[in-house]
Structure 1
Amino acid sequence: MEGQPHPYAPTDLKLLGYVPNFLTQSTIVSVYLLASLLVVSLIWIVSGKEYSKGDSRYAARDAATVTVEGLTAVFEGPASLLAVYAIASGKSYSYILQFAVCLGQLYGTAVYFLTAFLEGDHFAASRYYYYVYYIGANFSWVVIPSLIAMRCWKKICSAVQAQGQKKTKSR
């Protein structure tokens, strides 16, 4: 028994019992995007309220916190996407871009923690929320950018050193 024609490669692949989609690709993608937006929005709202127990500056829309988060979203978000593209396509600027994004993240995290410290560090509902949410949830925003920045620093330094050695040999 021959299967129906299908959109998969190779075209002569036998798919017994294949039934074509009854929805168009644009309908499937639209439903997926709408459902994803709803789920992400719901998680964002619920987790934001929950995270605010560890740092009430989010619930109060503290100016310093909103500013740091806004700058992160506006500048570091797109720069991170560009870095992903640069890494995937092997662009020469990928390491300097990763380094810049990491420094921006580390600076933002430092401002986030230092403003809390300078204002008395009294934003958590309890010690549990302070250590689990405020410290624990933000730990990765220090460790991961630090590791990536150190890796990029080494790569950039060795590239500059190799370039310097090439110039010395060619003279």
Structure 2
Amino acid sequence: MADILNSTISQSLDTPVHPYYPLGVVIAGYVAKTLSTQEILSIFTGTCVCILGPTWLYLRHARRNLSNSDVLTALWFVLCGFIHLGLEGYFALHARDLASRSTVLAQLWKEYSLSDSRYLTADTFVVCMETVTAVCWGPLSFAIAWCIASDHPLRHPLQSIVSLGQLYGDVLYYGTCAVDFIAFGREYSRPELAYYWGYYVFLNAFWIVIPLCLVVSSARETARAFAAVKAGLKAEKKK
């Protein structure tokens, strides 16, 4: 009995204490973040402003004929490119030891993981999804922004592909959490409203609403282009 008690005490001392759900989830090598929530959110917001500000100025001066909707769409894909490649790419590279890291990006993920601890346990689905997002949708997001700025004909085919990929990934992301909760009662988010409704629901909803709108927009533009080509061919045949 003494051996069992000593072993239990030893394991509890060796297991790092952390604030993540579900209670008791094992997070190997966990090191607490040193930056506060306010500092992390300020760094993230400031970085977004530093990225989008110069991009907006460039688009407004270099492409004065771009519509407001095209400018906003280009800004969206530039932001997606940096998030997919920089932030999610970092996660894909360091998923196995993210919990033990103390870089700014690692601490940002530790903050977000309060709403989804799977990012600190190297969950198979999350690692695969984020890797595909970083490798595929990151570079293509920058390509779409360039296509918009240069009025390239590949804009809408690429926009459809990336937006549908983002939408599909986010639906699966929500879906896997929902199934785990409904079927197994497993919760990955802390109960505070800011984490579940703020981080998990609100932030990820951008990649549901905006890609869905862009898929519809590209479908309409593609249909319009095919209709114009068919009308032209019919007119030639009549001649």
Q: Distance in 2 between matches of 1:157 and 1:127?
A: 45
Structure with bigger helix share is 2
Q: Aligned match of 2:189 in 113, 119, 124?
A: 124
In the alignment, structure 1 residue 94 sits paired with structure 2 residue 159: no
Q: Distance in 2 between matches of 1:136 and 1:161?
A: 38
Alignment of 1:28-107 (within 5 A): 42-107=103-168
**AA paired with 1:78?**
P
Q: Distance in 2 between matches of 1:73 and 1:90?
A: 25
Percent identical: 32
In the alignment, structure 1 residue 162 sits paired with structure 2 residue 228: yes
How far did 1:47 drift?
A: 1.8
Q: Is the 8 A contact 1:68 1:111 kept in 2?
A: no
Q: Distance in 2 between matches of 1:108 and 1:98?
A: 15
Deviating beyond 6 angstroms after TM superposition, the runs of 4 or more aligned structure 1 residues are none
Q: 1:86 to 1:114 in 2, by over 3 A?
A: same
Unaligned 5+ residue runs, structure 2? 1-85, 91-101
Q: Is the 8 A contact 1:103 1:149 kept in 2?
A: yes
State the Cα deviation string for residues 33-81 of structure 1 (Å, max 9, x = none): xxxx9xx995422221111011111111111011101100001111111
Structure ID, larger Rg: 1
Q: Distance in 2 between matches of 1:142 and 1:167?
A: 38
Q: Aligned match of 1:137 in 203, 216, 226?
A: 203
Q: Aligned match of 2:214 in 148, 164, 170?
A: 148
Q: Aligned match of 2:175 in 114, 117, 132?
A: 114
